[in-house]
């Protein structure tokens, strides 16, 4: 039996509920494929502030770095909005990503055929959409120096070094090789020096992947094209702030933010999480959609643990739940045979694995 050490950060709000369902599914697929998962929980976010006064305790950093991968829920909420910036849950998250060295954020945007009417766009525009956004996660304007604020002025600096662009480009090109061999690099090279360096560096890396068709697009045009013709994209490569915005836009092509997972990978470890937040307004109501977190567990199996069969089994189980008409409340209006709770959706997906 194969054994993996998995760190769990459930976090705040619905994070606890959705991670519990993902663990349930992992245990079921583990029994099916003779895999054992040893879990250890760590604190981050508002719950960590309440318990320790620190949104990111050192124990969490050490524990995650010593695990094979981390499954993460969500953090934050209005309870902690009045904290000083350095003690807010979001500051803990930025520090966490930097400490983990997770420079590559993979965010798929997939439209399920069964939910094509859930999108605000016409079915003929989005049917068959399957995009992977590769976002550089620990550089760019969120981390650049100098930065500061006075009463009359605020400033941040977008900085990228060649090695940062090279390593994220390699991730994107390798993913493109496993998909449709198309990569679109997004920048603002017509006005930003840092984007000119980005484009030049990506073109140099492209020489190592001659089978991949590389194109470039300005970020403002990409924002329009994602709505007008999203099927033109396969792998999108971009920097931190552009990727933050574009991946959120792409996620809404599916019609529900509760469906989409993400992976943040690096040389030290990898963190897998849903793209949505902690949703404090529905915490404890049993209506949160756990599918994004369950899909994140599938990505963990695929990208960190190399358990392709187990990952495929989870993906198939999710699609079956969709095709059978099971929906959580966020998707109740779209061909629902039965509206189910968070726990029931986890049970249904688990049942297809047994």
Catalytic residues: 142, 188, 220, 244, 248
Nearest Cα to Cα of residue 332 among 293, 289, 295: 289
| Dist CA 72 CA 32 (whole Å) | 23
Is residue 64 within 8 Å of residue 70, measured between CB atoms? yes
Return the SS3 of 36: strand
Nearest Cα to Cα of residue 331 among 287, 281, 297: 287
Question: 58-65 and 89-100 helices cross at what angle (nearest 10)?
Answer: 40
Nearest Cα to Cα of residue 105 among 232, 255, 275: 275
| Dist CA 198 CA 193 (whole Å) | 9
Burial class, 42, CB count within 10 angstroms (exposed 0-12 / middle 13-18 / buried 19+): buried
| Dist CA 349 CA 236 (whole Å) | 30
């Amino acid at each position: 039996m194969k054994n993996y050490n998995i760190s769990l950060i459930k976090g705040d709000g619905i994070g606890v509920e959705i991670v519990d369902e993902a663990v349930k599914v992992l245990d079921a697929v583990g029994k099916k494929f003779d895999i054992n998962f040893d879990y250890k929980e760590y604190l981050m976010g508002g719950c960590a502030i309440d318990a320790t006064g620190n949104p990111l305790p050192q124990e969490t950093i050490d524990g995650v770095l010593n695990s094979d991968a981390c499954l993460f829920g969500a953090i934050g909420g209005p309870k902690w909005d009045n904290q000083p910036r350095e003690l807010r849950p979001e500051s803990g998250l930025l520090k966490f990503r930097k400490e983990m060295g997770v420079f590559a954020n993979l965010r798929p945007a997939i439209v399920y055929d069964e939910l094509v009417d859930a999108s605000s766009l016409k079915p003929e525009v989005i049917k068959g959409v399957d995009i992977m956004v590769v976002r550089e996660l620990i550089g760019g304007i969120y981390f650049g120096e100098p930065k500061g604020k006075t009463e009359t002025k605020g400033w941040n600096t977008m900085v990228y070094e060649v090695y940062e662009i090279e390593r994220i480009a390699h991730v994107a090109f390798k993913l493109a090789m496993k998909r449709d061999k198309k990569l679109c690099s997004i920048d603002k090279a017509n006005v930003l020096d840092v984007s000119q360096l980005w484009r030049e560096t990506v073109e140099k890396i492209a020489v190592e992947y001659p089978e991949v068709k590389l194109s470039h697009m300005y970020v403002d045009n990409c924002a329009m094209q994602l709505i007008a013709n999203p099927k033109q994209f396969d792998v999108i490569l971009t920097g931190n702030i552009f990727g933050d915005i574009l991946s959120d836009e792409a996620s809404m092509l599916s019609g529900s933010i509760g469906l989409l997972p993400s992976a943040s990978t690096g040389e030290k470890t990898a963190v897998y999480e849903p793209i949505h937040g902690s949703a404090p307004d529905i915490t404890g109501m049993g209506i949160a959609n756990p599918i994004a977190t369950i899909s994140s567990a599938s990505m963990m199996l695929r990208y960190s643990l190399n358990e392709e069969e187990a990952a495929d089994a989870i993906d198939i189980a999710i699609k079956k739940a969709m095709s059978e008409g099971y929906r959580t409340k966020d998707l109740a209006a779209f061909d629902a045979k039965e509206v189910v709770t968070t726990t029931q959706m986890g049970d249904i997906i688990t049942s297809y694995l047994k």
